[in-house]
Structure 1
Amino acid sequence: MKKHSILTMSCLIAAACQAGLALAADKPHWRYSGPHGPEHWSTLDPEFKVCATGKNQSPINLTAAVEGELAPLALHYRPAGASVVNDGHSVQVNYQPGSYITLDGEPFELKQFHFHTPSENLIQGESFPLEGHFVHADKNGSLAVIAVMFKEGKANQALASIWPHIPTKAGETATLQQPVDASQILPQAQDYYRFSGSLTTPPCSEGVRWLVMKSPQTLSEKQISDLMKIIKHSNNRPVQPLNGRVVVAS
């Protein structure tokens, strides 16, 4: 990612800290379908042009990965206070400071996690009912996202403490009464894919380090349907071309 001014980096972090990695201000408004849908994002604002011109866009179909010497995930998560936001694009849990991952020798603080249904990234062409994005930022504003897939199955107890408190109306926020432990939402088997990508919503900024967990978690059919009733629409960007990028697998 190119060097940015402090102001620009602050804006980028603010953008990533909105549901779906979206900008805080929906100006101009974008959607997941119709004339303001993904195929038109680049035309809605000059700042969104990279949605069409970028060569390292996310999400992608994870195929033909190269086996590499990826370091084990260095997670330093701890239970923390949190709030859950319905912004009309996604459902997002804002995480209080103190949890981070170490990546490429640098700490990346967990800012928030949010959900896309169905999944945005595909694994060997397979789509999942839900994908969680755990968004981290380092001291310079560079971003790293851990993506977790969810398949239908046993109810997810870690999400069960969050789901009842999701606001049903867009624009509303609810403070969670109990601390959230983000580490419990990630799979125990922590092999992953890594690639260079972008935000998956406008402005589609590139330079984001993506870590996609190989092992999916489960959630019940009711948990899936309850979330869909709140979001009211699919909120996944279609997969983007690899353009020669290499996907490395641990």
Structure 2
Amino acid sequence: MRFFLTLIACCCVVTAASGASDPLISPSAKTAVGAAAGAASTSSGASASGSSSARKLSERDKEAQAEADLSVRIQERLAIMRANQQARVAAAAKAKKQAEAKAAAAAVEAAKPKISNVWSYEGEFGPANWGSINPAWARCGSGNRQSPIDIRDGMKVELEQITFDYHPSSFNVTDNGHTVQVMVGSGNYITVGNRTYELIQFHFHRPSEERINGKGYEMVVHLVHKDSSGHIAMLALLLERGKAQPVIQTVWNNLPLEKYDTAVPAIALDPADLLPARRDYYTFMGSMTTPPCEENVLWMVMKEPVQASPAQMALFSRLYPLNARPTQPSNGRIIKESN
């Protein structure tokens, strides 16, 4: 359409120019032709101006659209950055919370009492610390009836005699790291106070854990008995230097070659051969003398010592120079002794 308008306008201009110089055309015709030519020229100019405005408007739209697109991209990028920042903050908070929880757990664990089953007769794991090494051993440090004790001021009474029913039995010998322990076959009993106890094992301490009116002995043998209800009765035989003791020699002959090993001899042993000729004794309620130091143990300490040779004692002293718990306060407990 613009093409046709421009063409007409050009024709009018040419005609007008031609008419102006043509003597055959009247002045009024020349005027009309000139007017037509002017109109055509004006129309052509307006058309060109409109086209330029349209182009400018289109460029502005493109710029506006480009700005809008850029703004959208910027917003998207900012949203991603904010999300990443929030994720980093959340991750840092989670890591901090986990670290705090771990530190709190470590603090709780550190506050717990250290539990161990390791004990000895000297040093860090010695008797003074048994009560704190393991909570299950608390009685070792705070019990009311702990053993051994220095036996003093016993009340002399008519004590019931201990009835011994010991027989030759099979046995095994273990070096358990604390002492030499002899497990005895079943069928060996004592009866005292109308209660019968079976001999389970016997073992040795050096020096003697028990004292009599302040006097200690070079060694002691503890014979451990239990009744059908699990009550414990301990019989203590004090050892003094003298002639060789046959049961002890049988045990020494069958010692294992390594600590924590067990020897199982093919011979029998009669625990009755350990007993002194006199059967008078002291008695009181006490405890086991090794962890966990359980109490309510019936103690019977024979008054007459048993002899063992210096060589027999020396052999044990090479294995265990010291394996005795120190004496404990008697705490006013009743101690009886036979007349």
TM-score scaled by length of structure 2: 0.65
**Equivalent position to 1:197, from 273, 279, 286:** 286
Residue pair 1:32, 1:237 contacting (<8 A) in 2 also: yes
Residue pair 1:162, 1:176 contacting (<8 A) in 2 also: no
**Equivalent position to 1:133, from 206, 210, 222:** 222
Shift of 1:27: 4.5
Residue pair 2:173, 2:181 contacting (<8 A) in 1 also: yes
**Equivalent position to 1:61, from 150, 153, 169:** 150
| Partner in structure 2 of residue 19 of structure 1 | none
Write the distance in 2 (CA, Å) between the matches of 1:228 and 1:88. Answer: 14
Shift of 1:212: 0.2
**Equivalent position to 1:102, from 191, 199, 211:** 191
Residue pair 1:158, 1:185 contacting (<8 A) in 2 also: yes
**Equivalent position to 1:48, from 123, 130, 137:** 137
Residues paired across the two proteins, number: 224
Q: Map 1:1-250 to 2 at 5 A.
A: 27-231=116-320, 233-250=321-338
Q: Which has the higher contact order (CA 8 A, sep 6+)?
A: 1
Letter aligned with residue 243 of structure 1 = N
Write the distance in 1 (CA, Å) between the matches of 2:242 and 2:316. Answer: 15
Residue pair 2:182, 2:202 contacting (<8 A) in 1 also: yes
Question: Which protein shows a greater Rg?
Answer: 2
Write the distance in 1 (CA, Å) between the matches of 2:117 and 2:285. Answer: 27
Write the distance in 2 (CA, Å) between the matches of 1:91 and 1:191. Answer: 26
Does the residue aligned with 1:139 lie in a helix, a strand or coil? coil
Residue pair 1:168, 1:230 contacting (<8 A) in 2 also: no
Worse-matched range after superposition: 87-96 or 174-183: 174-183
Write the distance in 2 (CA, Å) between the matches of 1:230 and 1:164. Answer: 14
Write the distance in 1 (CA, Å) between the matches of 2:292 and 2:230. Answer: 15
Shift of 1:230: 2.3
Worse-matched range after superposition: 149-158 or 200-209: 149-158
Residue pair 2:190, 2:197 contacting (<8 A) in 1 also: yes
Write the distance in 2 (CA, Å) between the matches of 1:190 and 1:28. Answer: 37
> Considering only aligned residues, what root-mean-square deviation do their CA atoms show, in Å?
1.2
Does the residue aligned with 1:229 lie in a helix, a strand or coil? helix
Per-residue deviation, residues 132-182 of structure 1 (Å, max 9, x unmatched): 000000011000010000001111122112212112422110012221110
Write the distance in 2 (CA, Å) between the matches of 1:184 and 1:124. Answer: 27
Residue pair 2:140, 2:293 contacting (<8 A) in 1 also: yes
Residue pair 1:135, 1:144 contacting (<8 A) in 2 also: yes
Higher percent of residues as strand: 1
Per-residue deviation, residues 111-135 of structure 1 (Å, max 9, x unmatched): 0000001100011211111100000
The unaligned stretches of length 5 or more in structure 1 are 1-25
Letter aligned with residue 241 of structure 2 = E
Residue pair 1:58, 1:239 contacting (<8 A) in 2 also: yes
TM-score scaled by length of structure 1: 0.87
Letter aligned with residue 271 of structure 2 = A
Higher percent of residues as helix: 2
Letter aligned with residue 237 of structure 2 = V
